Structure 1
């Protein structure tokens, strides 16, 4: 791989082993959110391009070069890819920071763990056992795991490589072919990753990329009749439409959708740790993550002190050029996103919420899509700010009286993706975690991911799980094989008066 990033980056389509432009020739600008400047061109796929990619993936699957490859060899290729990925990490850090505006310190910390995901699922492919099922009679019954076929992986702008890797690794490890649709705002690291997959030895047609707008390329991919599973990360409304489109073809879905994460701080917890943990939960990734600490629930006895110390912490976060290692908060993804967030803040103050700090565009940053880290307090839990996803560097602080009150407020939302409980009381930690209606609960921490742990939510936060054995198994279907070991065949139609078994 090249060691320097070019000044202008192209994101072509990758179909049947070839890089190609969209059949229409149309392109879209790729923008650096830290400057607002154009840094590349994105081939905008049409429905015809999507069909070509899916057909290529289906041919590759039917041909069996990857699906029928001995699992030991498939695992070797994935491990070889992980080594190539690891050797190229420095360029991935820079490219993802350039494309989505996350501080280089964040992209370095996140992307450095991703080769582990491919090694983990390669290991699962080697070690995951099928079942032998005890059934009545002289029969041996066992299961086989069968790859689904062509899988669509549709990722979002906030964590392009991490979100892709959570599903690409198990999809490939189980023998599927894939068609990737990256966010049109952040396609660049996906393109670089696919080049490494080819270099590692993944056969032609097994991995395909269709870039472009969600309403055209994404919609065509989700509804394509050959797609056997759709994995999507994004907003709840779009996820619902994708789920409906996939269901018409009886395709499986894994949908990681919106969230309104709750950070529950009890008064027995150290104040400094509480402030630091809440700031990390709220502002990592500029709050552009479905699991961010969007609601900080603070026990009333510590509420006043927490507000003052949290104000100091949030206002001291360094906002600026994401390529600078000293920067702690980058821009949001686009001007449209920034205006949406600012409008929500204005409506929040109009309906009674109070601004603790932030809430405006940093005056020192004349270009790019920056917003100050923002904290609102005395926010009614049932209000828009207390209920709806902001997806920006904004959090709200809400007081609670006791354990039951904290659980009630935390669960009173349409979402159920992630929450965290902060307490020194071990029994309380387990008790509260067991009553929270969220797919993931952290204790005395937040936003932790491991390839072995299932990732996903309840309620309107989606269905299915990424990572873990659960994800691995959801990229295949079980086949039951039943063997008659008696050496006899029943003559069902003999008039011998014997009681015969039908099932």
Structure 2
């Protein structure tokens, strides 16, 4: 018998939004083991991406706050135990950090999802990856072996690695907790002390590091945290004379400013910047796999990912089929509240970024054929929600082909030949990642070696061993991190030369004719 009950009303937007319990009443800096306000008392609003309402105020750091943090980090480096501990001792503490992160992964994911708008399932994966980053570098610093060379009968030359000092770490707002761990792990494992300046859009998860490190037993002053805006706190860190190296992840334009501002101080720089990565689909590719991977590659993490394959280049023989199937699948991607397990695309991080992405969508409507999305999804009247958007027939000089959008927006362009595909793939200022889909092994390797990208995936999507280098070319970055490249960046590599037995030194200033042996010794230097 059919029910006479009226159908349930769809949930209202407030009912579909979940605010975590026990949110802080204020987010403060963490300097020399204490949570402190800004010296001038200044704060800024932190917004919830679903409502765009202020949910907390954070301390707004300036030069004075950075000075205090750097002074604490420098004292800990010069006088504290951390740089002088054996690698195994530091490793034990970093493994405890990983244990704590793993034990709190659900809470970390809840806060990260709330603060950034990331879908909860993806935020959970990022929290677990943060723990893995600490485990990896804790193990690597113990297993590390350095070069040693023996000049027979004359010398032993070996490499001695030493921590550099205070590392300035500037991190972005997309997957903030995981990307903070990607820098904190190697910087601390190698014996440096740090000052972290997280993105102002997402300070919540960064504020959790202080308690984690205290519980793990990290000495006071080794980790310091200053919140604030890039032009104030970030620039003060970049230009501070007692911060010898800066690791930055963010926009290419910001990276250019950091490069210029750091140059007078001759700082070590590692910068992972923007991307406009191509995914190249040849006619012989497995289209099912290519479509699944390229959908995930641009719409996961709300499209706010530096390695997103946001330009899809498709060989003309399969172009129409690909576009039709891709658009249909993109329209089925689930947009929803970040806290819901079924959500695949949540809310963009901030109204400023939402406006930027929506502006590019309007530009795209004049530059390509809209086949999916194109605006705010139905049923979401508020919040920073964008429907997964697909443009086809996009010309290579279009802005949506050339410029980084950093949202759930993709441009699809046809090509005929391998040479044309390569020209299209390389025809932008960026060079972070590239994805190649083909069953022709020779083509796959030839194309991957010719494409201008720091990382290439062949018939795969963004699965990366932590031992491999991460970084880009052209406007996508300067330097590489990952594995031993991170160890290289965060350490001085000092060459030590030891003479075996009785040494022979060139002799100047004595009344005799130089010998062939003297000349050879000078030439060896």
Normalised by the size of structure 1, how large is the TM-score? 0.96
Residues in 2 aligned to 1:497 and 1:483: alpha-carbon distance in whole angstroms:
28
Residues in 1 aligned to 2:71 and 2:464: alpha-carbon distance in whole angstroms:
34
Q: What does residue range 97-496 of structure 1 map to in structure 2 within 5 Å?
A: 97-135=113-151, 138-350=154-366, 352-488=367-503, 490=505, 492-496=508-512
Instruction: Give yes or no for contact 2:102–2:127 (8 Å, CA) kept in 1.
Output: no
Q: What does residue range 19-34 of structure 1 map to in structure 2 within 5 Å?
A: 19-34=35-50
**SS of equivalent residue, structure 1 residue 199:** helix
Instruction: Give yes or no for contact 1:5–1:91 (8 Å, CA) kept in 2.
Output: no
Deviation at 1:342, TM superposition (A): 1.8
Moved over 6 A (4+): none
Corresponding position of 1:37: 53
Residues in 2 aligned to 1:24 and 1:419: alpha-carbon distance in whole angstroms:
46
Deviations 1:243-279 (A, max 9, x none): 1212211111111111001011111122222211110
Across the two proteins, how many residue pairs are aligned to each other?
Answer: 499
**SS of equivalent residue, structure 2 residue 497:** strand
**SS of equivalent residue, structure 1 residue 108:** helix
Instruction: Give yes or no for contact 1:262–1:297 (8 Å, CA) kept in 2.
Output: yes
**SS of equivalent residue, structure 2 residue 82:** coil
Deviation at 1:498, TM superposition (A): 5.1
Deviation at 1:443, TM superposition (A): 1.2
Deviations 1:169-215 (A, max 9, x none): 11111100100000011111111123111211111111100001111
Say which of 85, 92, 101 aligns to 2:108: 92
Q: Can you give the 5+ residue segments of structure 2 that lack an aligned partner in the other structure?
A: 1-19
Residues in 2 aligned to 1:21 and 1:436: alpha-carbon distance in whole angstroms:
48
Normalised by the size of structure 2, how large is the TM-score? 0.92
Deviation at 1:136, TM superposition (A): 8.0
Larger radius of gyration: 2
Residues in 1 aligned to 2:262 and 2:383: alpha-carbon distance in whole angstroms:
37
Residues in 1 aligned to 2:26 and 2:460: alpha-carbon distance in whole angstroms:
39
**SS of equivalent residue, structure 1 residue 450:** coil
Deviation at 1:392, TM superposition (A): 0.9
RMSD (CA atoms): 1.6
Residues in 1 aligned to 2:464 and 2:117: alpha-carbon distance in whole angstroms:
21
Instruction: Give yes or no for contact 1:292–1:447 (8 Å, CA) kept in 2.
Output: no
